[in-house]
Amino acid sequence: MAPAQSKSLKNVAIISKPAKPELARIVPELLHWLKQHNYEAIMDMESGEYVKGPETVKRESIGDRALDFAIVLGGDGTLLSAARVMAKSGIPILGINLGTLGFLTEVPLAEIYDSLEAVDQNRARIETRSLIHAQLLRGGECISEFESLNDVIVSKAAIARLASFELHIDSMFVSSYKADGLIISTPTGSTAYSMAAGGPILTPSVDAFVVTPVSPHSLTHRVLVVRDSSEIVIVVKTGDEEAFLSIDGQLGTPALDGDRVVCRKSKHNVRLFQVKRNFFEVLRTKLKWGQV
């Protein structure tokens, strides 16, 4: 494979899913390609398990480095983790799918080097995805805050009990819910838990959030789609029981009675390379539309 024409040194990060045996082959081959094409690579600790030489750093510190882009080797969960790290710096991400579903990591492993060629030659389109900024307020004080690419979920903690919530949008009371939980989803997250709970699929460019109740006690409660300029507040009403706040299904913290989860559109975005497939091609492939 011929090296790139440009001789200027470029910088890239490699982020990998833990405990994937095939990475013992993939990572060294990828580093060889990058070296041929004048890239200097840094890696997260997970990638560093498979090769010696390049600098390894904690994943949460990668977004602080000056990088041309980041390569994610894994599934959608790995990309969600990387996206929260990269959002503040605006570093674009190329997702290589080593998982099963792959709505976000849409490049199959067989196309990794064709895709890298497209990125290197500025032939890959960059798609911008919105984030939710969520704050957990207790007694009027913010005790934790998060950025979410997929969804913010407030759910019951007890196995056999329904939780109670109040929903407010732009300071207007919407409804009280008894349900397993409430999902606040971005367009990106509309194909995740929200879809499984009966929510609609939004195209990534739609300026909206989805509010999806999970197994509501009342059959009249339905999914809401609101503008992403809205402020969405969930008030936890659990009495002596705890609820649980979950971010992208990866980060979480207990929520107590009276806590308020405030969701707004983040000032940051995630930038994803789109090489060959558009959103509808990904949907047809992953959801097997049109197949009999």
CA distance 246 to 228: 20
Distance from first CA to last CA of the chain, Å, rounded? 40
Q: Which has the closest alpha carbon to 258: 141, 159, 180, 175? A: 141
Query: What residues have CB less than 8 Å from 287, skipping those under 6 apart?
Result: none
Per-residue model confidence (pLDDT) at position 106: 79
Q: Given this model, what pLDDT does residue 135 score? A: 98
From the list 44, 76, 120, 259, the catalytic residue is 76
The pLDDT, as a whole number, for residue 285 is 81
Residue 121: the pLDDT is 94
- Grouped pLDDT means (10 residues each) for the chain, 292 residues: 59 94 94 96 93 91 95 94 94 90 83 96 94 97 97 84 92 95 97 95 96 90 96 93 93 95 97 88 84 67
- Select from 219, 232, 151 the least CA-distant residue to 185: 151
Contact of 183 with 215, CB cutoff 8 Å: no
Dist. CA 134–CA 245, nearest whole Å: 10
Note the pLDDT of residue 160: 58
> What confidence score (pLDDT) does residue 292 get?
61
Q: What is the pLDDT of residue 276?
A: 78
Distance separating alpha carbons of residues 172 and 4, to the nearest angstrom: 56
| Pairs from 258-261 (Cβ < 8 Å, separation ≥ 24) | 258/138, 258/139, 259/136, 259/137, 259/138, 259/235, 260/136, 260/137, 260/138, 260/233, 260/234, 260/235, 260/236, 261/134, 261/135, 261/136, 261/137, 261/152, 261/154, 261/233, 261/234, 261/236
Write down the pTM of the prediction: 0.90
For CATH 2.60.200.30, the residue range(s) in the chain are: 132-267
Every domain range in the chain assigned CATH 3.40.50.10330: 10-124+275-286
pLDDT computed for residue 7 by the predictor: 58
Q: Which CATH architecture has domain 132-267?
A: Sandwich (2.60)
**Residue pointed to by tokens 């977004």:** 63
Spatial CB neighbours of 88, under 8 Å, sequence gap ≥ 6: 63, 268
Q: What is the pLDDT of residue 102?
A: 73
Q: Has domain 10-124+275-286 been given CATH number 2.40.160.60?
A: no
User: Is 76 among the residues known to form the active site?
Assistant: yes
Tokens of 70: 């980041």
Q: How far apart, in whole angstroms, are the C-alpha atoms of residue 59 and residue 131? A: 19
**What pLDDT sits at residue 268?**
96
The two tokens of residue 35 are 């070296």
